[in-house]
Amino acid sequence: MPVTKPQAEMLATLAVAARPHGARHWDAPGVMAALANIRHLDLAEVMMAVGRAARDRTLETPAAIGNTAAPCWIERPVERWTPTKTTRSDRCGECNKPRDVCERTARWGDDTHEFRPDYIQPAGSAVDELRDIKHAAMAAKEES
């Protein structure tokens, strides 16, 4: 569906409002002039390009909106961040950072700690004792 005049006015208002802090200010008539060049294109595509152009602080004027060869018309892939999974034994109990980060982080002031795991498997636990009893019983059974 092509862009109508009321839709273009709404997009112009949003583009002017969406400019980042410190970027050059755009005026609504300038955005409307750029939108006039592409009014025959699909509204959804124009909306995306206007948003990308308004976000780009290096653009001095909204003229890129009217130029389909401009970078604002290229859809950028979404970069997804996946957190690294750490176990309790690989996480420092003092600073709560992973082992590699804790060991290479500079220490400031009175922070002189070294990596200490958040969780250490206790030695001589009841599970270990039961395991030893079971092994002893199985060894005695095999001997007889």
| Pick from 131, 92, 136: nearest CA to 114 | 92
Question: How much is the pLDDT for 10?
Answer: 97
Within 10 angstroms of residue 19's Cβ, the number of other Cβ atoms is 18
Question: How much is the pLDDT for 44?
Answer: 94
Contacts 24+ apart (CB under 8 A), 126-135: none
In 62-93, which positions are buried (b, 16+ CB within 10 angstroms) versus exposed (e)?
bebbbeeebebbeeeeeeeeeeeebeeebbbe
* Whether residue 124 has pLDDT greater than 90: no
Residue at token pair 């709404």: 10
For residues 115 and 103, is the Cβ–Cβ distance under 8 A? yes
Q: For the ranges 68-72, 73-77, 116-120, 123-127, which has the lowest average pLDDT? A: 123-127
Q: Model pTM?
A: 0.55
* Whether residue 122 has pLDDT greater than 70: no
Question: How much is the pLDDT for 62?
Answer: 96
Model pLDDT for residues 58-105, shown as the tens digit of each residue: 999 999 999 999 999 998 887 888 877 888 888 888 888 888 888 888
Cα–Cα distance for residue pair 144/135, rounded to 1 Å: 14
Question: How much is the pLDDT for 131?
Answer: 82
Average pLDDT over residues 109-131: 78
The identity of residue 83, as a single letter, is: P
Question: How much is the pLDDT for 20?
Answer: 94
Model pLDDT for residues 23-64, shown as the tens digit of each residue: 999 999 999 999 999 999 999 999 999 999 999 999 999 999
Query: Based on C-alpha coordinates, what's the Rg of the chain?
Result: 31
